[in-house]
């Protein structure tokens, strides 16, 4: 199972130097994938959670490809309705080629109504527009001989049943975001059922989970996967591996934009995971 990291590409502590240090730290720790988020117009509903500056994902990842060597690069998630599908197809394919095949294209429908309005995109049609984008991406890449053998994998984000069904129809992986372990376990079963119902292959399972380490164990039944002591986080990772997760993305941003001014705390948490998690010796495995 690969482990990725969602890197903040927003907030007052984020600038080119900070992004470079994030990339080199995450790659240096041995993680498999570096992912960033997507917003185009930092409208008030966006700025409340993800304030400016907000670095656009394609340009940011293109630049980070040049300051890293091996780590995968991805979006979690690109808002499909914000850009023309053929532009997305070209940018994603070019970035994948320029980075040596390192791109993972995570795609979602979006949520920020004011941002949709600023871009002149109908919010109520975002699901249909996302489906159209995914179909266009696949068709464009299939029609271009340069991309057939090296197109990036498509992860479809979204926690709803619509997102799950979209992943089965049009994605290579389903990418649910920040949920509890019981929810993820039940959702994995639902994904298999939907794939059987649609008579399609089961997509890969690639959840993004929280990363928030605590000194004392968290007993709250609503504890997100990735929250708690390092022992709880390690067990969450092992449980997801046993569920068949292909990749798990750790998200060390816990909601306060001021965190971007102090990335060292997130780096220490990531280093603790690297030092502790060993899938060959975790408790869940040895007890079987």
- Report residue 239's pLDDT band, with 50, 70 and 90 as the boundaries: very high
Element (H, E) at 20: helix 16-28
Backbone angles phi, psi at 248, to 5 degrees: -125, 130
pLDDT exceeds 70 at position 175: yes
Q: What is the pLDDT of residue 279?
A: 75
Mean pLDDT of all residues in the chain?
95
CATH of 2-207+241-276, one of 3.90.1150.10, 3.30.379.10, 3.40.50.150, 3.20.20.30: 3.20.20.30
Q: Per-residue b/e over 114-140, b at no fewer than 16 CB within 10 Å?
A: ebbeebebebeebbebbbebbebbeeb
Q: What is the pLDDT of residue 285?
A: 41
Eight-class DSSP state of 280? T
Q: What is the pLDDT of residue 150?
A: 80
Better pLDDT: 84 or 149: 84
Residue range 44-80, pLDDT digits in tens: 999 999 999 999 999 999 999 999 999 999 999 999 9
Better pLDDT: 226 or 284: 226
Minimal CA–CA distance to 241: which of 270, 190, 206, 195? 206
Domain ranges of the chain: 2-207+241-276
């Amino acid at each position: 199972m690969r482990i990725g990291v969602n890197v903040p590409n927003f907030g007052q502590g984020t600038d080119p130097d900070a992004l470079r240090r994030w990339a080199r730290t995450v790659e240096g720790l041995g993680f498999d994938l570096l992912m960033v988020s997507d917003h185009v117009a930092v409208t008030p509903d966006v700025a409340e959670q993800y304030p400016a500056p907000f670095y656009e994902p394609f340009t940011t990842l293109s630049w980070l490809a040049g300051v890293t060597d091996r780590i995968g690069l991805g979006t979690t998630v690109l808002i499909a309705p914000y850009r023309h599908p053929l532009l997305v197809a070209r940018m994603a394919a070019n970035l994948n080629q320029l980075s040596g095949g390192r791109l993972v294209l995570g795609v979602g429908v979006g949520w920020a109504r004011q941002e949709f309005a600023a871009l002149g995109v109908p919010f109520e049609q975002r699901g249909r527009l996302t489906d159209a984008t995914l179909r266009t991406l696949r068709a464009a890449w299939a029609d271009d001989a340069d991309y057939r053998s090296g197109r990036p994998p498509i992860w479809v984000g979204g926690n709803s049943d619509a997102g799950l069904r979209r992943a089965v129809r049009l994605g290579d992986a389903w990418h649910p975001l920040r949920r509890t372990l019981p929810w993820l376990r039940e959702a994995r079963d639902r994904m298999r059922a939907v794939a059987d119902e649609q008579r399609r292959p089961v997509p890969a399972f690639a959840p993004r989970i929280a990363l928030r380490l605590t000194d004392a164990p968290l007993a709250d039944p609503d504890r997100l996967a990735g929250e708690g002591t390092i022992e709880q986080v390690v067990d969450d990772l092992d449980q997801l591996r046993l569920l068949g997760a292909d990749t798990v993305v750790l998200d060390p941003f816990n909601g306060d934009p001021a965190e971007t001014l102090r990335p060292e705390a997130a780096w220490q948490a990531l280093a603790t995971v690297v030092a502790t998690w060993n899938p060959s010796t975790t408790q869940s495995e040895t007890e079987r």
